[in-house]
Amino acid sequence: MGQYILLMRDHSEGLRAISDNAAALEGIVAGLERWEAKVIASYRLLGVWDQCYIIEAPSNFLAYRATLAQEWSVTADTAILPALELPLFERLLKQEIRTAGPHKWQIQWWARAARFLLYDYNYGRYGRKFFTNHAVLGRENFNGIKGPCIVVANHASHYDQYCLMKAVPWSIRTNLYIGAAADRWFLRGRKEITLQPWYVSLALGTYPIQRGGGSRSLDYPKWLLEQGANLMLFPEGTRARGRKLSRFKHGVSILATQTGAPVVPIYLEGLQAIRPPGSKESVPGPVAAHVLAPLYFDETTSVPEATEQIYQAMLAKHNEVLGIDSEA
């Protein structure tokens, strides 16, 4: 997921619409969400530009710029600017970023055995430290799964993966893989052993995702499924802010419809309170993982339809947990 700055300069029609109804700005957010973009922050500006949105979006988002500009041409001029976090920009200035991986040996029996032995060091101790109670409900939903599967969950905190691991049976856990940003986790030349690309591939079961990789970013996870491995993915693409469950990206559905692997949704509860997005402090608290019934798709199911089914399954549990559902 890339970050972008969207600047808008209102025409007279746009200013009139906002003056009549401030909620008209929500139509812009809806337009962004149709292109799988997520609004992180928005500002009303006092200057040359009238509105600013900070958004996260797929790497091909700029390809939609002409469409977006045409969609809003009646009400506003637009400028869409790619953005880099300052630490990453500084690294780009100082050195050439070289990454390693993916390491296909990570699915070998000896790598899986090592991951089993290192589990407590990499996961268990953090759960004991930050989770005052760790409930897992519905684990029996894994019982009927014989082949590879795709575990998906809502993304609320840095500790989501620690909560998820306990919810997954050992037969799946030791052969479970998750993508991580290549320019953060797979950099060459680091001194710490635990930050070496080979170590995170071995001990954590992660594989690199290149920013801006587009559809190519699905090649390695698809290969993993074809080898009988399991995947752990967060279809929201980024950590949620607030109580809303963000719309899901299509990557999970593409993999599921192409390989036939079942999708097992797991709704995570309590993680955001322990360490909310943007916070560097962690406050121990109770967490729960709700394992939902697996969903099966094949090539006859359209990708948007599969994505919607996964989203609705998670949304139902989300509403129930928050007390929004009429039967909660």
Quick check: helix, strand or coil at residue 41?
A: strand
319: left (phi over 0), alpha (psi -120 to 50) or beta: alpha
Distance CA 128, CA 258 (A): 38
Indicate the DSSP class of residue 42. Answer: E
Return the residue matching tokens 């928050």.
322
> What residues make up the domain containing 256?
104-322
Are 68 and 171 members of one domain? no
Please list the residues that pair with 82 across neighbouring strands. Answer: 4
Within-domain flag for 12: yes
Rg (CA), the chain: 21
- Other residues' Cβ atoms within 10 Å of the Cβ of residue 15: 13
**pLDDT higher than 50, residue 325:** no
What are the two backbone dihedrals, phi and then psi, of residue 184, each rounded to the nearest 5 degrees? -115, -40
Within-domain flag for 98: no
Are 76 and 161 members of one domain? no
Pick from 73-77, 125-129, 170-174, 201-205: least confident? 73-77
Within-domain flag for 154: yes
pLDDT computed for residue 246 by the predictor: 78
**pLDDT higher than 80, residue 14:** no
Tens of pLDDT, residues 23-48 = 666 667 776 776 667 788 889 888 88
Are 121 and 234 members of one domain? yes
Are 228 and 144 members of one domain? yes
Q: Which of 36, 312, 323, 298 is nearest to 152 (CA)?
A: 312
Number of domains composing the chain: 2
pLDDT computed for residue 115 by the predictor: 93
pTM above 0.75, yes or no: no
Return the residue matching tokens 């029609």.
13
Q: Are 139 and 293 in contact, with CB atoms under 8 Å apart? A: no
Among 36, 53, 83, the domain-final residue is: 83
What's the CATH number where 23 sits?
3.30.70.1060
The amino acid occupying position 162 is Y
Within-domain flag for 41: yes
Q: Which of 287, 34, 305, 30 is nearest to 154 (CA)?
A: 287
* Mean pLDDT computed over 113-137: 91
Q: Is the omega angle on the peptide bond into residue 286 within 30 degrees of 0, that is, cis?
A: no
What's the CATH number where 174 sits?
3.40.1130.10
Among 83, 114, 149, the domain-final residue is: 83
Tens of pLDDT, residues 266-314 = 999 988 888 776 667 888 999 999 999 999 998 888 999 999 999 999 9
Are 70 and 109 members of one domain? no
Within-domain flag for 35: yes
Within-domain flag for 95: no
Cα dihedral 39→159→219→261 (10° resolution) = -100
Are 122 and 213 members of one domain? yes
Residue 220 CA: distances (Å) to CA of 11, 48, 80, 230: 46, 45, 30, 12
Burial class of residue 211 in the structure, from the number of CB atoms within 10 Å of its CB (0-12 exposed, 13-18 middle, 19+ buried):
middle
The two tokens of residue 321 are 């947990």
Measured in residues, the chain has a length of 328
Are 185 and 273 members of one domain? yes
Q: Which of 202, 43, 50 is nearest to 118 (CA)?
A: 202
The two tokens of residue 62 are 């700029």
Cα distance from N-terminal residue to C-terminal residue, the chain: 34
* Mean pLDDT computed over 227-251: 80
Are 114 and 155 members of one domain? yes
Pick from 81-95, 165-179, 184-198: least confident? 81-95
